[in-house]
Every structure is written in C-alpha cells, then in structure tokens.
Amino acid sequence: MTRLVKKALCGVGLAMAAVLATSPAFAADKIKVGISMKVLNAPYFAAAMEAAKARATELGEDVIVADAQGKMGKQISDVEDLITRGIKVLIIDPADPEGLVNSVNAATAAGIKVVVIDSTLDPKAKYLTLVQSSNSENGALVGSWVVDNMGDKPLKIALISGEKGNPVGKERRDGVIQGIVEAQLAKTGKANLQIVGQGWGNWSDEGGLKAMEDLLVANKDINMVLGENDSMVLGARRAIESAGRQGITLVAAADGQKEALALIKDGKYGATALNDPALVARTAVDIGVKAANGQAVNIPKISYTPSAVIDKANVDKFYNPKAIF
C-alpha cells in the first residue's frame, strides 16, 4: 500500500468510520429520505441512486427519488417538492454549484439534514457534508502511475474534459497534471509534458468519441489521452481505433467504470482512479440518517472516500462485471 493510499484511508476520519460501522438500523421510526439526482441517464448516476435507495431501504426508511434530467430548474422544483412531502434527509447531486444553494438552504431551514454527493456545491450552502472521492489524492496516484509507466519520454497529452466551468472536472484534471509534474520532478528533476489540445466530451462516451476525433485530426504526436472520467476515455479509444493510431496510453482521472476495468484487465487501457458511486451514496445515506435520528455526527465539510489508482496489477480487486457501473 502506497503512502498516498494510506493517507487517503486515514483521511476518511474516525467519525466517518464510526458512521460506516453502525448497525443496519439507526432508529425504530421510519423517516423519509429524498434523493435528488441531477441526471440518471448515465451509469455512474444510476448506480449512485440505486445504492442510495438500497441503503435507505436497508435502514428501514422510506425513499423518494427525483431525477432532474440535467435541468437545474427542474432540480430546484424537485427539492421544493421533496420538502413539501416531509423528507427528513436530502441526498443531492447538484446540477449547478451556485444554482442549488438556495434550495439546499431552504431544506436545511426546514430541519432537513442535507448531504451532498459527487458534485461540488458552493460552501455558502448550508449542508452537513459533501461526500466524494478526493480528486487531489486520486490525481497524485494517477500522475505517479503515468510517470512510472511512461518513463521520461516527453508527454504529448490530449485532454478530454467534461463541460466548461464544471468545478469537479477542473479539480480532476488539475489533480492529475499536478501529480504528473510532481512525479516527474521527483524522478528526473524536470517537468516534461504538453497539453496539445483540449476537447469537451460532456462526460459521455459519444462526447469523448467526437472530441477525440477532432484532437486526432489536429495533432499527430499524441502519446497519451487524459480524460476526466472513464466514459469519455472509452469513447476516445473508439476514435483512436478507427483512426488506426498506435502508441497512445489511455488514462482517466476518475471513476472505475466496469467497461474500463475490463479493458485494463486485457491490457488495452492504462489506468483510472477509484470513484465508487455506490460507496459515495451509501456513505451519504448513513451520515444523513444518523444525523436525522439526533445522533451527533462530527464530520468535516467534505468527507472523502478512499483513493486508489486502478491498473492491471490490482484491477481484480475492483472489477465486478455485474455492477451497474
């Protein structure tokens, strides 16, 4: 186990560990748990919703799920509806870091315990905690993997990002790029990488395909693809295959999508970082339900799940072909 992984595991914190160690039922009386997802038409978010729903049911609680379908206005309406339906816990993956602040504050003012998952929300919002993977820790691990596996060759990186202005995407790419630079400095005393182009893939396989097609036309010397999630890199891989290009290492800043892990097993995909939607969602429900039952939860504003880089050496620990994501 690397020093960074040990640090990440410690960073989960004693309070969070205590939450996860509790018995399946926190209280005899049922409470209503509202789950507000910004979108459900992608495997990651569907897996998060199903895990949150399953955990709340396992705890004996009632569950109400709302899908904003990628529309901030609908999510605002969804939260308003959940409040009127008497929820005591709100698990929310916000569609916009600023636009959902008032909705979250309204829920908290109504006595609802709000836990944010996955996406960043402006800190002025009043919520218990944000549960997500650590982009900086994952980035450092992925960066080290890149340098260990690609050596001291100059890196010509095609960057595929999710959407403009998205804070999570920025954190992910910054984490990996900084990780590469730090690893190169430690190994060779100099940094040697170039972002030859940036494409926008809207977090999807098809988006990654289109972005990569454009990047391949514009750049003939790409030797690495860095995507902000696995889905876009999977699409980029299809574009690379169609173009007949060779010698391009595929790396994702986060997720651990099962299709990517299958390719890692086969040696056709370099590495990705752990961002388990089921773990994130279940942790969020545990924290919210415990708080709603009046139990003190001394947790930080951000609760990180453990970090790991997933490659051919350890992929069997994470790969589940029957998983939703």
pLDDT (tens, 9 = 90+) of the chain, 325 residues, equals 444 433 343 443 333 444 444 434 444 478 999 999 999 988 899 999 999 999 999 999 999 999 999 999 999 999 999 999 999 999 999 999 999 999 999 999 999 999 999 988 998 999 999 999 999 999 999 999 999 999 889 999 999 999 898 888 999 999 999 999 999 999 999 999 999 999 999 999 999 999 999 999 999 999 999 999 999 999 999 999 999 999 999 999 999 999 999 999 999 999 999 999 999 999 999 999 999 999 866 888 999 999 999 999 999 999 999 988 9
pLDDT of residue 22: 42
Strand partners, 117: 131
pLDDT in tens, 141-170: 999 999 999 988 999 999 999 989 888 899
- Burial-class residue 244 by CB neighbours within 10 Å (0-12, 13-18, 19+): exposed
pTM above 0.85, yes or no: no
Reduced DSSP (H G I as helix, E B as strand, rest coil) percent helix, strand, coil of the chain, to 5: 45, 20, 35
Task: Give 122's DSSP letter.
Answer: -
> How far apart, in whole angstroms, are the C-alpha atoms of residue 216 and residue 33?
46
